[in-house]
Chains A and B, each alone.
Chain A
Amino acid sequence: MNIVESVVTQIQGLSSSATDIAALHTYLKQADESLHTESARLLPFLDHLDPSIHSLGYLYILDACTSGPISEEQAKTLVLIFARFITSCVAEQIRLASDKFVSVCKRFKDQVMLLKAPMQGVAAMLSAVRKLQSSSAHLTTLHPEFLQLCLLSKSYKTGLSVLEDDIFEVDQPRDLFLYCYYGGMMCIGQKRFQKALELLHNVVTAPMSSINAIAVEAYKKYILVSLIHQGQFSTSLPKYASSAAQRNLKNFCQPYIELANSYSTGKIAELETYVQTSREKFESDNNLGLVKQVLSSMYKRNIQRLTQTYLTLSLQDIANTVQLNSPKEAEMHVLQMIQDGEIYATINQKDGMVRFLEDPEQYKTCEMIKHIDSSIQRMMELSKKLTTMDELMSCDPLYLAKAGRERQRFDFDDFDTVPQKFNI
């Protein structure tokens, strides 16, 4: 019996109990190199295995037989084999060889990209993420791969399901950068601008020893989303942002900073001129769509400003003040803003008058109380989590060694109630 048949027999015989799986794993690690040398003839042997029972063995053989270059023609067949394996494999088995599982999943992603069919990979990749995670708080290296497929196939809602998880454990820093950047884009696609800002903010302020391209692109979108959602942008980064980011990010995003400066004047004509001048730059960054949203948000800001001064105003006056082309355009903007909850108003179409109203929310409904209560509960949970993480980090030898090296032995508070000289 040659090595491949021998491996298949072992897989079939040792996949039923945890003890058997452990023994199989040891065997497969030793046989891995031999499997790779036989890669050309391995594919048919997969038919002798059931991925939902022999997951670990299937993984090793699938990895070995797909490790070389794959043509588009081969990808059409392999994609189905990969998807079937990923969706039916047993999580406990594949976690024993997580690196191999990650390689196989990335190869699967490459194949759906080769076939220009990212949608084909979404469901399987989501399954892969859930199986690889040790908990919902664990960010794996497959998360960004999954989000990338969601973005390419415009499956924004599917991607959002993963973004709802709180992350407390990260495998690689690069995973976090990509996860937050792609996640931010997904939220922009769903117009969840507040969440997009949080995610992009995390990229921009994450620790980095040198300026990172992902952070640069995230900062560009962060500026645009800040303008769209908040009507303003500040160039100062929080104190906990890395010095690499503090000193370098702005240099890579000058056109966006200038856009924000132009926006702050409140003059739509000036902003439009600037956008035209720098259109090519925004287009090459694939940010022109967002820039156009920034432009239309300025009309919204200017209309919102009117609600602070007037109780009623005609559509004509709104159009003139905000520099829209006609009362009809003004009506469309006002209607959209009412629908989005950005202003409270009624439009009398008979006389073309808009009446601005107060926010009707009284904060005393059952729904509001439930909402506030659940927010409080969440804050309490997060606070407990933060305290636990703080305590763990405070005892971490690596952290203590580094912090201890840099501190003075004593500082002023240590001597608070103690006299300078003390005779024992």
Chain B
Amino acid sequence: MPFLTVLVSSELKSLQFSRIRERDMKPMQMDFFADMEEQGSTVAMDVDDVDPLEIFGEGVINVDNKLADADFFNNFEDDFDDSDIN
């Protein structure tokens, strides 16, 4: 199972908000209570419906048919025809 670079970044994006909650970045006690008084209600953040990549500014969708890296080398012989072997 290689390529954890990609897998990790993807997994982390789906865990982003829960991880930030758990870390030591919670506001100071005094600040916490002060802000509480100002808040009318709290709303649980629903992250599951949000596309993580859109949050990171990667959600600009190319809706036309232009493909990136269209010039990549893919001119290989079709070597996967097993009927040649038998």
Q: Which residues of A contact B (CB under 8 A)?
A: 148, 151-152, 154, 163, 165-170, 174, 176-178, 180, 185, 188-189, 198-199, 202, 205-214, 216-217, 239-244, 247-248, 251-252, 283, 286-290, 292-293, 296, 378, 382, 385-386, 389-390, 393-394, 400, 402-404, 406-415, 418, 420-422, 424
Contact present for A411 and B68 (CB under 8 Å): no
Size of the B side of the interface (Cβ < 8 Å), in residues, is 61
Within the assembled complex, what's the spacing in Å between the Cα atoms of A390 and B12? 7
Contact present for A415 and B67 (CB under 8 Å): no
Contacts of A290 in B (CB 8 A): 78, 80
Cross-interface CB contact of B58 among A198, A242, A378, A409, cutoff 8 Å: A242
Q: Which residues of B contact A (CB under 8 A)?
A: 1-14, 16-17, 19-21, 23, 26-27, 30, 33, 35-37, 39, 42-45, 51-62, 65-70, 72-74, 76-83
Between A and B, how many residue pairs show CB distances below 8 Å? 181
**19 A–B contact pairs at CB < 8 A?**
A166-B2, A166-B4, A167-B5, A169-B5, A208-B58, A210-B60, A213-B72, A240-B14, A243-B59, A251-B65, A286-B78, A292-B81, A386-B8, A394-B19, A394-B23, A409-B35, A410-B35, A418-B36, A421-B37
Query: B23 to chain A: closest CB distance in Å?
Result: 6
- Known contacts A176-B3, A424-B30; can you find 20 more A-B pairs with CB under 8 A? A166-B2, A166-B3, A167-B3, A189-B80, A205-B6, A210-B60, A210-B61, A210-B62, A217-B74, A239-B14, A240-B11, A252-B67, A287-B80, A382-B1, A382-B4, A394-B20, A409-B35, A410-B35, A412-B42, A413-B21
Contact present for A390 and B1 (CB under 8 Å): no
Within the assembled complex, what's the spacing in Å between the Cα atoms of A414 and B20? 11
Query: A84 to chain B: closest CB distance in Å?
Result: 26
Query: B55 to chain A: closest CB distance in Å?
Result: 5
Contact present for A414 and B26 (CB under 8 Å): yes
